[in-house]
């Protein structure tokens, strides 16, 4: 499955922590877009889609959340609760995001501008697309 955890450089001292993620170093693509998700209510779920070309890095900036991933062969669950790590997700991976803590903030770095055409939002269509 085309996912991996990325460990960011962190400069920590008695003033706090400064975490760095540079394009083409820790982030393996040119970042064209950032977005973030927060204030997710109890038991609410996000995602339920894959992307045809888009690559992303999910960073659990605050609080925690669970990302469930499926590439047609294997299923993985990743808890994001460390702002010094990012979860790289390649294209053609179905993802759902659940179990947001009340204080959760999920920051996402994306390799492309927003395009609804890049989404597959129907699970059967996703599975069919893997066999093409």
Which positions are catalytic?
Answer: 49
Strand order in the sheet with 65-70: 75-80, 65-70, 94-98, 46-51, 119-120
Which residue, 46 or 91, has its beta carbon nearer to ligand TYD?
46
Among 1, 6, 38, 46, binds ligand TYD (CB under 6 A): 46
CB of 60 to ligand TYD, least distance (A): 14
Counting contacts by CB under 6 A, is residue 33 touching ligand TYD?
A: yes
Counting contacts by CB under 6 A, is residue 83 touching ligand TYD?
A: no
Counting contacts by CB under 6 A, is residue 47 touching ligand TYD?
A: yes
Question: Helices (H) and strands (E) in the chain — how many of each?
Answer: 1, 12
Residue 73 is encoded by which pair of tokens? Answer: 């062969």
């Amino acid at each position: 499955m085309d996912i991996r955890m990325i460990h960011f450089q962190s400069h920590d001292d008695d003033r706090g922590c400064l975490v760095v993620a540079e394009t083409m170093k820790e982030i393996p693509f040119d970042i064209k877009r950032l977005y973030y998700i927060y204030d997710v209510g109890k038991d609410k779920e996000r995602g339920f889609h894959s992307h045809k070309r888009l690559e992303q890095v999910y960073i659990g900036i605050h609080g925690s959340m669970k990302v469930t991933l499926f590439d047609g062969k294997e299923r993985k669950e990743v808890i994001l609760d460390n702002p010094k790590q990012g979860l790289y997700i390649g294209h053609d991976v179905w993802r759902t995001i659940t179990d947001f803590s009340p204080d959760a903030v999920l920051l996402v770095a994306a390799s492309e501008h927003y395009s609804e055409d890049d989404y597959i939002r129907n699970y059967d269509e996703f599975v069919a697309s893997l066999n093409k």
